[in-house]
Structure 1
Amino acid sequence: MTESSFDATHPPERELLDDCVHCGFCLPTCPTYQLWGEEMDSPRGRIYLMDLAERGEIELEGAFTEHIDACLGCMACVTSCPSGVQYDRLLEATRPQIERNVPRQRSDKLFRDGIFALFPYRRRLRAAAILGLAYQKLGLSKVAEKVLPPRLAAAQALLPPVRLRSAFAKLPRRVRARTPVRRRVALLSGCVQDVFFHDVNVATQRVLAAEGCEVLTPREQGCCGALGLHAGRADHATARAKDTIATFEKLPVDDIVVNVAGCGSSMKEYGALLADDPEWARRAAAFSAKVKDISEVLADLSPVAERHPITAKVAYHDACHLGHAQGVRQAPRKVLRTIPGVDLVDLPEAELCCGSAGIYNMVQPEPAAELGERKAGNIRAVKPDLLVTANPGCLLQIRRYLGDEIPMLHPVQLLAASIEGRDIR
C-alpha cells in the first residue's frame, strides 16, 4: 500500500472522504467555482485531491496546496450537501498538514506571520490604530492602493475608520440586568472587535442588560484562536482555546455570548479541537456547550425591553461562519423583526461569501475583490436603507466595495438603537 502524503497527526479521515458522492450540489454555492469554473476549485474537487493525497498518489506541494489555499472555508457546501459531507472537518484537518509540511515562499511566510503577530493581540492592535489614524488623516490610502503590492494594498484598504477613544476604551467587567435577572452570561470581547468595533461590544452589553441579563466581561481574556484555526495554525488555535476555556469556565454563567461569527464558530468547535487531550477534552466540551451567538440568546428570551420604531428597509447579510458554519439563520432575523417599522430583506446570492473569510481577503486579494464587488452589487440591487451583518470581517470587506453608500451596522447595534430610542442615521 502506498504511504499517505499526510503526516500522522490528525489527517483527513478516510470515512469522511468517502462520504462525498461527487453529486455536484455544492457547485452553485462555492464561491471559487462560481468565479473560475474549475473542478479542482470546487468542494468535490478539493475532496478528490484530499483523497489522492491520503492514498499517497499526489504530494502536498504545488497544485494541492494552491487549490486548498484558494478555498475560503465559507462552508456553503456543507449547507448545500444532501449527503451530509463534513467538508468543514476535512478542511480543518488538511490545512494544518500544509502548514506543517509545505514550505512557503519567504514573502508568503513573512506576510502570514505578520498577520498572526498583530491581529490576536489587542495592545498591538491599539498601537496599529494610532498609526492607522495618522495614515487616514494624511489621506494616504488611495495612493497606497495604487503603488503597494496586492496583499499590502488589500490590508491597508480594509482598515476601518479609526477612533482612538473607542480603540482604547475598556468595557465594564460587570453590567447589571435592568430587570429582574433572567440569565447570567459572559461576553467574549474579541481582538479586532474590541479595538475597531468597540461600539458593538457596548451595544451587546446594553441590549443584554435591557433584556434581563447580567453580563460579565473578564478583563484578562485574549484571542480565541479563530484566525489560527481557520488558517491551519493548529498550535496557535489550541493554545488560544485553552487560555479562553481557562478564563471563562470559572465564571458562574448560563451562556458564553459571542457577537463575532468567526469567533463563535471556532469556540463551538473547541470540544472537537481538544477531543484527544485527556486534560482538556471534557472541559472543552463543557465550554463549547455554553457558547451562543448573541442572536441565539436574544431569540430565546421573550422581549421585555420596549422597542421604539425604526422605519427602514434593512438588508441582512448572512455571515458565513454564522449561517453556514453554525447553522444560525433564523435567530438574527427573528430578533430584527421585533423592531417595529423594520422591513427586513434578504440578498440575492445570499449563500455566496463576501470574500472576507478570516485572513482570505489579505492573502488572496484578487478573488476576494471579485467576491466583494459581487456582494456589493447584490446589496445595491435591493436598495436598502441599511445593511446589517454579524461579523467584523464582513463589515470591513463590504465597506471596501460599497463605500459610504449605505450605512452598515451589527444587528445588535440596530436593536440597541431601537431599545434606546436613538436615530440610526
Structure 2
Amino acid sequence: MIFPAFDDHHPPEKDLIDDCVHCGFCLPTCPTYVLFGEEMDSPRGRIYLMNKGLNEEPLNDQMVRHFDLCLGCMACVTACPSGVQYDKLIEATRGQVERRYERTAQDKAFREMIFQLFPYPNRLRVAAAPLKLYQRFGVGDKLKKAGLMKVLPKRMRAMEALMPMLTKQQEVPEFSPAVGEKRMTVGFIKGCVQRVFFSEVNAATVRVLNAEGCDVVTPKAQGCCGALSVHAGREEEFQAFARKLIDEFEDSGVDRIIINAAGCGSTLKEYGYLLRDDRAYAEKARNFSAKVRDVSEFLQELGPVAERQPMPVAAAYHDACHLAHSQGIRKQPRQTLKQIPGMEVREIKEAELCCGSAGIYNMVEPEPATELGDRKATNVLNTGARMVVTSNPGCMLQIQASLKRMGTSMPMAHPMEVLDASIRGESVETLLLNR
C-alpha cells in the first residue's frame, strides 16, 4: 500500500500514532518546542503530521522541515503518560524522508560527507592528522581574528567549533585479563568517534572492567554500530554495519557486551527490533542485544570489588539523552560516581533538555543546537562544580564548544575516567589537569 507521504516499507505505524492523546505532557521537555513555541515542532505536532502523511498529504518541504528539526532526544518518551513510542515513529519517518524526499544538492552533499567520514574510524584518523597541525599552530584563532571564519558556511563553522583537542591515541588490546579473581568475560565495543577522539575513555573503561574482575575481549576488526545511520533514516547502511558487528562478536564467547557511548548503546539494544525483517540475522540480533549493557549499568549489576581511593571534587553530572531517555539509565552513573569517597554529584537545572548534540544534529542544524548548547553550558556553570561528567562523546564536544564560546572552560570527563582515576589513586588535581 502506498500512502500520500509514505511507501509501504515500515511507515510510521497507525496504532502507535493513535496512542498519542495530545495531552501536552511532552511539551515542556521537547527542546524545539521550548525554543520555538511552535506546535508542529513538538512531539504531538510531529505525530499529527505523520498521521496526515498516512491519510491526506504527500511529503512537502514544510513537513520535512519539522521532522528534520527533531533532535530525537526522546525526552518526550520519558514524559509521556500514555507510553507513546515516539522513538519508533520518528525513526520510521526519517527512513521515509530519506527514501522519498529530494533534498537540495548542497544539503545532500553535506550529509553525505558526514556519513562518508564519521562511521569509519580509519578515515577519521586520516582526517585527524591535518587537524593536529591546525590546532598546534592556532589556525582557527588566527582565522577568527582576521574575520575570515565568518565567510565559511554555518555548518562548516559548527564543525570547526566542535573539533576536540587531539591527543595521542591509546589503543585497547584485543584481550585484557581480569585483575585478581575472574568474575565474568565481557566484550567491548570501541565506537567510532569514541575510539579516535576519546581513546583515553576506552582505555579507562577497559582498566576499570579489569579491576572489577572482568576479562575483556575487544575484536580488532569491529566497525561502526550504525547508530548515526539509523537515526538519520539510512536503513540499508545501518543494517550493513549492524550485521558486521554482530558477526565480530558471534564466536567471542562473552557473557555481556559493554558500550560506553550512550548514543551507540541505545541503538545496540534495539538491534533485535531494527533487524526484525532479516531472516538470517533477526535471532542473532535479538541475542546480541540481550547481552548489551552500558558500562555504568553493568558495573552496578556486577557490584564493586576494586577499592576506590578518595576523589574529593564536586562534579556536575549531565544526563546524555540516549542514556537517560532511550535506555532509562539515570541512577546507575550517579551511583557509580557516588561510590567514590569524597565525590559530590551536583544536578544540572533543566536536566531533561538536550544539550543540542544529538548525533549529527549540531552539524546539520547548528543554530538551534547552539542555543541549546549555550543554555546547557549556563546551567552547568550555575552548579558551581569544578568539572562536568557525562557518558556520551557528542555531549562532551557540544558542551565544551558552548563553554568556549562563552569565554570559559571546565574539565570534562566520562564516568569511567573518574572511576579509573579513583581506583588507580590519582589525585583530583591530576584528574582535572588531564581533562
Under a length normalisation based on structure 1, what TM-score does the superposition of the two structures give?
0.97
**Over the residues paired in the alignment, what is the CA RMSD in angstroms?**
1.2
* CA–CA distance in structure 2, aligned partners of residues 216 and 21 of structure 1: 46
Instruction: Report the Cα distance in structure 2 between the residues aligned to 1:149 and 1:192, rounded to whole angstroms.
Output: 23
Question: Does 1:97 pair with 2:96?
Answer: yes
Q: Which residue in 1 is equivalent to 2:127?
A: 128
**1:306–1:54 CA distance, 2 compared to 1 (3 A):** same
Question: 1:8-407 to 2 correspondence within 5 Å?
Answer: 8-55=8-55, 57-142=56-141, 143=143, 145-163=149-167, 165-166=168-169, 169-403=170-404, 405-407=409-411
User: Conserved in 1, the CA contact under 8 Å of 2:4 and 2:54?
Assistant: yes
CA distance in 2: counterparts of 1:5 and 1:60, whole angstroms: 5
Give, in angstroms, the shift of residue 152 of structure 1. Answer: 0.4
SS at match of 2:278: coil
Alpha-carbon distance in 2 for matches of 1:145, 1:386: 30
CA contact (8 A) 1:145 1:157 kept: no
Mapped to 1, the partners of 2:256 and 2:3 lie a distance apart of 45
The one-letter amino acid of 1:218's match is: P
What is the CA-CA distance between 1:141 and the residue it aligns to? 2.1
Q: Distance in 2 between matches of 1:131 and 1:78?
A: 41
Deviation at 1:3, TM superposition (A): 4.0
Which runs of no fewer than 5 residues in structure 2 stay unpaired?
A: none
Mapped to 1, the partners of 2:310 and 2:171 lie a distance apart of 30
**1:418 paired to 2:417:** no
Report how far residue 313 of structure 1 moved.
0.7
After superposition, give the CA deviation of every residue in 1:94-123 in whole Å (9 maximum; x if it has no partner). Answer: 001000000110000000000001001111
Contact 2:4 2:59 in 1 (8 A): no
CA–CA separation in structure 1 for the residues paired with 2:274 and 2:37: 33
Which digits, 9 at most, give the CA deviation of each residue in 1:156-215, with x for residues without a partner? 11110012x31xx43111110002111110000111100110000000000000000110
Aligned-partner Cα distance in 2 for 1:284–1:137: 44
> What SS does the corresponding residue of 1:382 show, helix, strand or coil?
coil
How far apart are 1:386 and its partner, in Å? Answer: 1.1
Number of positions where the alignment pairs a residue of Structure 1 with one of Structure 2: 421
Structure 1 residues 247 and 23: alpha-carbon distance in aligned structure 2, compared to 1, 3 A threshold: same
Contact kept in structure 2, 1:271 and 1:282, CA below 8 Å: yes
**1:301 shift after superposition:** 1.9
Whole-angstrom distance in 1 between the partners of 2:74 and 2:140: 32
Give 1:125's aligned amino acid: L
Change (3 A) 1:139 1:265: same
Structure 1, unpaired ranges of 5+: none
Instruction: Determine helix, strand or coil for the equivalent of 1:241.
Output: helix
Separation in structure 1 between the aligned mates of residue 299 and residue 132 of structure 2, nearest angstrom: 35
**Aligned equivalents of 1:258, 1:2: Cα separation in 2:** 39
Aligned-residue sequence identity (percent) comes to: 56
Query: Are residues 145 and 421 of structure 1, via their aligned partners in 2, closer, same or farther at CA, if it must alter by over 3 Å?
Result: farther
Structure 1 residues 72-109: Cα deviation after superposition (integer angstroms, max 9, x where no partner): 00000000000000000000100010000001100000
Superposed CA deviations along residues 317-360 of structure 1, whole A, max 9, x for unmatched, are 00000000111111111111110001111100000000000000
CA distance in 2, matches of 1:328, 1:130: 36
**Partner deviation per Cα, 1:372-411 (whole Å, 9 max, x = no partner):** 0000000011110111000000000000011352110000
Shift of the alpha carbon at 1:135?
Answer: 1.2
Alignment partners' CA distance in 1, 2:409 and 2:135: 19
Query: Does structure 1 conserve the Cα–Cα contact (< 8 Å) formed by 2:20 and 2:44?
Result: yes
Per-residue deviation at 1:278?
1.2
* TM-score normalised by L of structure 2: 0.95
